[in-house]
Structure 1
Amino acid sequence: MIHAYAAKTAGGKLEPFEYEPDPLKDEEVEINVEYCGICHSDLSMLNNEWGISQYPLVPGHEVVGTVAAIGDRVKTVKVGQRVGLGWYSHSCMHCEWCMSGNHNLCLKAESTIVARHGGFADKVRAHEQWAVPLPQDIDPAKVGPLFCGGITVFNPIVQFDIKPTDRVGVIGIGGLGHIALQFLRAWGCNVTAFSTNPDKEAEARKLGAKDFVNSRDPQALEKLASSFDMIISTVNADLDWGTYINALRPKGRLHFVGVVPSAIQAHAFSLIAGQKTLSGSPLGSPQTIARMLDFAVRHNIEPIIETFPFSQVNEAIAHLEAGKARYRLVLKN
């Protein structure tokens, strides 16, 4: 029997919930949950903002724990080994995307919390490939948010061959942005933080930003025309995207990892004239996650977290919903 916390209706409180799992599959692992981060995507799923939630819903896709049981054909992890699990829990392993190492692009990839029960529980299950072993020198209490927020901002650095000589902007200094600043500084980039909150300037610079721009100041944005090789948007808000496209150098890229609520408006001429690109990316493959964890250990990169016991899961959700999280929340069993 698995003991979890579930919401029975959209926007409902999380309540104790038990369920009997199916027999363990041949390539599946069962994880004893030690820690589980709370992501804004959990909140979106709880409120059915994307129209794909099924109830009772057990959120949780930033899991850290030890392997409790393995299927008969599991070869990549052992019982007792500490692993992490993120947004994806399974992919087909035989399509062109999985076979090319792009498991996160598999058209049959399964989310940890869509149509199945996630990590707000004492146990959770996943395909062995998505249960990524943790490096020995990483802090298990803090690493959970890297399995969603971290890989979300690390993946585009790898996918688009960001160079140490590049100038990169990060829009939004929150759960994703504060990790992006650390990765990009360690990568060697010249990093600029964009934020509507000027009070975050000192911390943004400490985390890795060389420059800080108040994104409510149109004159400050105009002065940055043709400045950046890449701008990564981590926010879930509609902005004047034309201003940021104007801030790109020729061949520059405006890349979205935050889910903005409305259609992205852009004039084709500004893209054509500078051969600029709009793009987005979903998390990363197990291989890229492992690469990110190794990079984080080497450069002492970790998310800034607040910790709650699982018994206070509703208080933690309310803390996130009120915009008070600094910067990621982690539940502890």
Structure 2
Amino acid sequence: MSTHTVHAYAAMSAGAALEPYQFDAGELKSHEVEVKVEYCGLCHSDLSVIQNDWGVSSYPVIAGHEIIGTVTALGSEAKGLKLGQRVGIGWTADSCQHCEPCLDGRQVQCATGSTPTIIGHAGGFADKVRAAWQWAIPLPDDLAPESAGPLLCGGITVFTPILQHQIQAIHHVGVIGIGGLGHIAIKLLKAWGCEITAFTSNLDKTEELKAMGADHVVNSRDSAAMKQLKNSFDLLLSTVNVTLDWPMLMNTLAPNGQLHMVGLPLEPMQISAGSLIGLSRGVTGSATGSPATLAQLLKFAARKNIAPQVEIYPMSHINEAIERLHSGKARYRIVLKADF
């Protein structure tokens, strides 16, 4: 059998159950590294690609983009890494490295189109995975490998807005939706020193969310409670994929406050120009983050002892794990342990 053979779990058609699959990855490219997968997080974006919700999937799909593993091969042009080193690979596996956004540190906006780890590329639901060396991020020794994977997608997705909006400890930040992304946001913002309000439709989580670092917990469906928050937030971080009462949420923003989207509702947002103009409010969004920002996040998480709350499944039980995620009962991120 070829040494380039990859053993994986793949969806052979849209929404199909994952099944064992193997393929020959070919020769390692000069700028790539090969990583033996130890752990891989399970993200809603994996489900979207498996189900072709975004219309960009090509089958078979090998998903998985919150990867922790060790370097087993280095291309001739790979730099800064060594064999046996533990690294993480997130949403992006490659970018051109020569366009203006790449040279400016905005590789996720690569003009030629960065390569997502799970779209047109084989991801981490496998025994090994490949990526450009710049996107294999060294893992600090103080981060536990079994829980660090979700930082590489869920974590960076909520960390980037904190930097983008220059959030400081004096600011009040609201987090909408306390799931895989939202719970990491609370942990990061707590370490950042901010005042935090968690919005959830399930108040049974209140004590748990306060233990994570939330100062206040509000029922996002309680219009009376929402009205009391008028002009409160410097940043309102929306992690949900459903349409909400955007005008009501805009009214909770302080002067110069920003409603920042990292969740992806499919319907257009109905927001009046007046709600933006009067108090210089804004609506913004962001994707993941550059290799440098990913490295900053991992170092910050190690220094502040921040770890996503995870449930671990053997990768061989991947369909059971997907059902758990679909059920909405995961607390709060599922991680698969490779057991090929």
Tell me the secondary structure at the aligned position of residue 274 of structure 1: coil
Q: Provide, for residues 229-282 of structure 1, a one-character-per-residue CA deviation record: whole Å limited to 9, x for no partner.
A: 110001111100111110001110000001112111101101011111101000
| Correspondence for 2:18 | 14
Aligned equivalents of 2:123 and 2:275: distance in 1?
A: 43
Aligned equivalents of 2:250 and 2:270: distance in 1?
A: 11
Match of 1:52 among 46, 52, 56: 56
Measured after TM superposition, the shift of residue 102 of structure 1 is 1.3
Measured after TM superposition, the shift of residue 22 of structure 1 is 2.2
Measured after TM superposition, the shift of residue 159 of structure 1 is 1.4
Match of 2:188 among 183, 199, 209: 183
| Correspondence for 1:226 | 231
Aligned equivalents of 2:73 and 2:252: distance in 1?
A: 51
Q: Provide, for residues 156-189 of structure 1, a one-character-per-residue CA deviation record: whole Å limited to 9, x for no partner.
A: 1011111110111000111000000011111111
Q: Aligned Cα RMSD in Å? A: 0.7
Instruction: Give 2:303's aligned amino acid.
Output: R
Aligned equivalents of 1:186 and 1:38: distance in 2?
A: 25
Match of 2:121 among 113, 116, 124: 116
Match of 2:39 among 35, 39, 42: 35
Aligned equivalents of 2:218 and 2:324: distance in 1?
A: 27
Match of 1:289 among 269, 290, 294: 294
Instruction: Give 1:326's aligned amino acid.
Output: R
| Correspondence for 1:127 | 132
Measured after TM superposition, the shift of residue 210 of structure 1 is 0.6
Alignment of 1:237 onto 2:237: no
Q: Given the two structures, how large is their TM-score scaled by the length of structure 1? A: 0.99
Instruction: Give 2:214's aligned amino acid.
Output: A
Instruction: Give 1:122's aligned amino acid.
Output: D
Question: Which sections of structure 2, spanning at least 5 residues, go unmatched?
Answer: none
| Correspondence for 2:78 | 74
| Correspondence for 1:174 | 179
Q: What are the within-5 Å matches in structure 2 for residues 211-290 of structure 1?
A: 211-290=216-295
Measured after TM superposition, the shift of residue 76 of structure 1 is 1.7
With 70-79 and 59-68 compared, the bigger mean Cα shift is at 70-79
| Correspondence for 2:158 | 153
Q: Given the two structures, how large is their TM-score scaled by the length of structure 2? A: 0.97
Alignment of 1:309 onto 2:314: yes
Aligned equivalents of 2:145 and 2:91: distance in 1?
A: 17
Instruction: Give 1:10's aligned amino acid.
Output: A
Tell me the secondary structure at the aligned position of residue 23 of structure 1: coil
Aligned equivalents of 2:196 and 2:109: distance in 1?
A: 28
Moved runs in structure 1, 4+ residues, more than 4 A? none
Aligned equivalents of 2:207 and 2:49: distance in 1?
A: 33
Aligned equivalents of 1:186 and 1:211: distance in 2?
A: 16
Aligned equivalents of 1:114 and 1:311: distance in 2?
A: 22
Aligned equivalents of 2:15 and 2:175: distance in 1?
A: 31
Match of 2:330 among 317, 325, 333: 325
Measured after TM superposition, the shift of residue 75 of structure 1 is 1.2
Tell me the secondary structure at the aligned position of residue 176 of structure 1: helix
| Correspondence for 1:102 | 106
Q: Provide, for residues 46-105 of structure 1, a one-character-per-residue CA deviation record: whole Å limited to 9, x for no partner.
A: 111000011011010000000010101111211110000000000110111111111112
Aligned equivalents of 1:110 and 1:39: distance in 2?
A: 18
Aligned equivalents of 1:309 and 1:12: distance in 2?
A: 19
Measured after TM superposition, the shift of residue 139 of structure 1 is 0.2
Instruction: Give 1:207's aligned amino acid.
Output: M
Measured after TM superposition, the shift of residue 293 of structure 1 is 0.7
Question: Which sections of structure 1, spanning at least 5 residues, go unmatched?
Answer: none
Identity across the alignment (%): 53
| Correspondence for 1:193 | 198
Aligned equivalents of 2:52 and 2:220: distance in 1?
A: 30
